Each structure stands twice: as structure tokens, then as C-alpha cells.
């Protein structure tokens, strides 16, 4: 588990500029203790090949490329439906000549598009670097993580804070399980999952952890690129803090021994326990900054294909701690269904996080909420939302293969 991770693409057809910018960015990342991946490109073709294969958060893009598309035209062709990327257009031309025209053309990008005049001094690049960090750290986390983090931070007593920490841990685990299990299905390795859970009780923190560990193993033991490689890295890196061990330890010490049994302890005990876990869990939360690259979305409306194979969807982006969640329009050849929650990867893939997460109307609250799986059987999946209301999803007549696949994967040893 390492520090805040992000990635920057430096694109310029002058090799000296690329190497000098890469060197300075690397130095800055060390200075500020960030884990930064820097990719390079020397043509428009290179830019798109990096964007299609890597998770890029920020581009430093030259305006002028010898032959081919200009930086300005490249910007038009970048696919970023949820506005996740920050783009700096670099140019040596005077502002009067270029800047106003380009700024006007890319007005829709708003604050996500900035100018960087060449040549620039190291201090100017440091300023740009800090702007990048600022932008990336202000992107919203997926709703379950953002919500529980905010509740935990807002708690005023040590006891409430510790309960908040437990809910944050649970939401991190469930989010990770949702992504990794869906990825097992996508990669065809679901039958190897086998966390050997007991099928009779609601999911406990211990059961979620077993499921998480099994799903990590499943994805790590196959050779194709995972949907969310960063997630696997957070849980598989053994230097520094061992994320999985931290979560197990937290479960054993805090959840099982204390909070789980409803004892009321001295405030001092909560403070001491909080002291030992809040720091490492906040470090883990920081390491999950990459999840801001993968908007969670729920489909609102589906338009018939415009061009044979491309569907137009309006989707709600379930990022940040509270509603109203913003609506976006997305064109994609993928078939997305209503009520399911999807994670969208920067490379353009949607991954359905059904059946672990659902975005449905809560009958009691009369608003749509994000529900997490709570109990699994062969005929019913039960869910709960932050409002603490439940939701049932029954098999009756539904053509949903998860009713067979999920119990088979989870309870296989029984």
C-alpha cells in the first residue's frame, strides 16, 4: 500500500522537453511523497494509445505537433464523459494569437482546461504540479466511501467516531468486493472464488473479509489485466502497511471484541482504540484516491441506438457524499441496464457491480438510494441502504443468472 497515486501523460514532439518535464515531475513527486506514474507521447497516435491502455488523470499536451493533429484537435477527440481529466495545453505562442481562441473553443471543459506557456521555469512547473494535486484530491470518492468518511469525520465523540470508522471500513470492503467479484465474472474465474461462507446468516464483517480475500486471490491468479489494477495493488503490496491484515486486525480487535457486543466502555477506551486505527485507516482511504477515476453510475434513461451499435444513456454519477447526484450523457456500444450500478473505467469499459450494489427506490424514504447486499440465498438477495431500510430482490421469474452463480461461488464448500 503506497501513498496517493496518480498518473500524468506528457505529450510533446520535442524529446528534450519531454525528458526535462518527466525529470521535474518525478523530482516533485518525491518531494511531496506522492506515487506518480508519468507516461510520455510524441505524437497524437501515441497519446491515444496511452489513453486507451493506461489510467491517465492529467495531460500536459503540446499545442503544436509536427504533422498530424494539433493538441487542440486531440482535446476534441479525448473521451472523458464524466470530466475526470485535467488538461494543460502547452504552447510557446503569445496569448493574443492562440489562448483566447482555444479557451473559447474548450469552454465546456471549464476549470479542467488550463494553459501553460513555454518555456517554463521549474517553479512554474511546481505550481502546475500543485494545481494537478489540488484538482485530483478534490475529485469525489464513490458515494459509499465518501458518505461513510464524511460521517466518521463529523462524529464528535470517540465512540461515535469509532463506529464511523467501522462503517468506513465496511464500505471500503463492500466496494472492493463489488468490483472484484464483477471482475471475476467478466474474466470467467467466478467458479474459483470459493470464500466458503455460511449461507444462513446476514453478511458479517468477517464474511465480507473472507469474500474480499478470496476475490483478490482469484483476480491475482489469472493473467489478464484487471478492471481496476490499482485496487489489486493496494491489497497485494506487502511493503508499508498490509491493507488486508489491517482490516482483519481491525475486525478482530474492534468489531468482534467491542462494538459488536454492545458494551458501553469508558470514553478513554474508545479514544485509545481510535488512536491506533484511525491513522492507518485514513492512510488506506488516501491510497484509494484512484477510485475517483472510476465514476459509479446508475442508468436513468436509455435511447435506442443512433448509429446501429451506439446507445445513448443519461446516467447519474454516484460520486460524493450526498444527493443530488449529477446527470451525464454517455454514448457507448455497451448495454447497460436500469437499477444496476456500474463502475466506469477511464479506458471506456463499464463494469456492472450487480448483484453486490443496486441503486433503487427506497419505499420508505421515497428516493433512490444505493443499496448494499446483506444476505444471499438461491431465491432472494436482501439489501440495506444508509437510511437503514431494506430492499428485497426476488428470483420469481427473473432471468438473472446471479441467483445461481453467486450462491454457488460463495457457499461452494457446503
What is the binding site for Zn ion (CB under 5 A)? Answer: 362, 364-365, 387, 389
**Edge-first strand listing for the sheet containing 380-385:** 357-362, 367-376, 380-385, 390-394
Which residue lies nearer to Zn ion by CB, 130 or 387? 387
Backbone angles phi, psi at 334, to 5 degrees: -75, 150
Report the C-alpha gap between 80 and 137 in whole angstroms.
18
Closest CB 359 distance from Zn ion, rounded Å = 13
Which residue lies nearer to Zn ion by CB, 63 or 325? 325
User: Contacts for 64-68 with beta carbons within 8 Å, 24 or more apart?
Assistant: 64/13, 64/91, 65/13, 66/13, 68/43, 68/44
Report the C-alpha gap between 297 and 370 in whole angstroms.
11
Closest CB 322 distance from Zn ion, rounded Å = 14
Closest CB 311 distance from Zn ion, rounded Å = 31
Closest CB 370 distance from Zn ion, rounded Å = 11
Cβ neighbours of 123 (radius 10 Å): 8
Closest CB 315 distance from Zn ion, rounded Å = 22
Which residue lies nearer to Zn ion by CB, 382 or 389? 389
Q: What contacts 137, CB < 8 A, 6 or more positions away?
A: 4, 289
User: Is 355:393 a contact under the CB 8 Å cutoff?
Assistant: yes
Which residue lies nearer to Zn ion by CB, 92 or 387? 387
Point out which residues pair with 91 in neighbouring strands. 117
Closest CB 364 distance from Zn ion, rounded Å = 5
Which residue lies nearer to Zn ion by CB, 209 or 391? 391
Report the C-alpha gap between 144 and 171 in whole angstroms.
6
Closest CB 308 distance from Zn ion, rounded Å = 41
Backbone angles phi, psi at 204, to 5 degrees: -95, 170
Which residue lies nearer to Zn ion by CB, 90 or 373? 373
Cβ neighbours of 12 (radius 10 Å): 24
The β-bridge relationship of strands 380-385 and 390-394 is: antiparallel
Which residue lies nearer to Zn ion by CB, 190 or 362? 362
Amino acid at each position: 500500500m503506497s501513498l496517493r497515486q496518480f498518473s500524468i501523460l506528457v505529450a510533446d514532439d520535442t524529446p528534450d522537453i519531454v525528458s526535462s518535464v518527466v525529470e521535474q515531475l518525478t523530482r516533485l513527486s518525491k518531494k511531496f511523497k506522492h506515487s506518480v506514474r508519468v507516461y510520455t507521447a510524441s505524437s497524437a497516435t501515441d497519446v491515444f494509445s496511452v489513453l486507451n491502455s493506461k489510467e491517465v488523470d492529467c495531460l500536459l499536451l503540446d499545442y503544436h505537433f509536427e504533422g498530424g493533429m494539433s493538441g487542440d484537435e486531440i482535446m476534441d477527440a479525448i473521451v472523458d464523459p464524466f470530466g475526470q481529466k485535467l488538461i494543460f495545453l502547452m504552447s510557446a505562442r503569445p496569448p493574443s494569437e492562440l489562448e483566447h481562441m482555444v479557451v473559447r473553443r474548450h469552454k465546456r471543459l471549464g476549470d479542467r482546461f488550463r494553459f501553460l506557456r513555454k518555456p517554463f521555469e521549474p517553479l512554474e512547473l511546481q505550481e502546475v504540479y500543485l494545481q494537478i494535486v489540488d484538482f485530483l484530491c478534490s475529485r469525489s470518492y464513490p458515494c459509499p466511501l465518501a458518505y461513510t468518511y464524511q460521517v466518521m469525520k463529523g462524529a464528535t465523540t470517540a465512540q461515535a467516531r469509532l463506529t464511523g470508522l467501522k462503517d468506513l471500513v465496511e464500505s471500503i470492503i463492500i466496494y472492493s468486493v463489488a468490483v472484484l467479484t464483477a471482475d471475476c465474472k467478466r474474466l470467467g474465474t467466478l467458479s474459483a472464488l470459493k470464500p466458503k461462507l455460511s449461507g444462513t446468516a446476514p453478511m458479517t464483517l468477517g464474511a465480507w473479509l473472507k469474500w474480499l480475500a478470496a476475490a483478490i486471490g482469484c483476480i491475482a491468479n489469472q493473467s489478464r489485466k484487471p478492471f481496476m489494477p490499482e485496487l489489486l495493488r493496494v491489497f497485494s503490496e506487502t511493503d508499508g502497511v498490509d491493507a488486508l491484515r489491517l482490516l482483519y486486525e481491525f475486525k478482530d480487535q474492534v468489531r468482534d471484541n467491542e462494538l459488536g457486543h454492545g458494551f458501553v466502555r469508558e470514553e478513554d477506551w474508545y479514544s485509545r482504540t481510535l488512536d491506533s486505527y484511525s491513522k492507518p485507516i485514513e492512510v488506506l482511504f488516501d491510497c484509494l484516491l484512484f477510485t475517483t477515476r472510476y465514476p459509479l453510475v446508475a442508468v436513468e434513461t436509455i435511447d435506442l441506438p443512433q448509429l446501429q451499435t451506439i446507445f445513448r444513456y443519461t446516467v447519474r454519477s454516484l460520486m460524493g457524499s450526498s444527493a443530488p447526484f449529477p446527470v451525464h450523457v454517455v454514448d457507448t456500444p455497451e448495454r447497460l441496464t436500469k437499477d444496476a450500478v456500474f463502475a466506469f473505467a477511464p479506458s471506456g469499459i463499464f463494469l456492472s457491480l450487480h448483484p453486490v450494489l443496486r441503486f433503487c427506490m427506497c419505499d420508505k424514504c421515497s428516493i433512490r438510494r444505493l443499496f448494499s447486499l446483506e444476505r444471499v440465498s438461491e431465491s432472494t438477495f436482501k439489501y440495506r441502504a444508509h437510511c437503514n431500510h431494506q430492499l428485497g430482490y426476488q428470483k420469481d421469474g427473473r432471468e438473472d443468472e446471479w441467483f445461481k452463480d453467486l450462491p454457488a461461488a460463495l457457499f461452494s464448500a457446503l
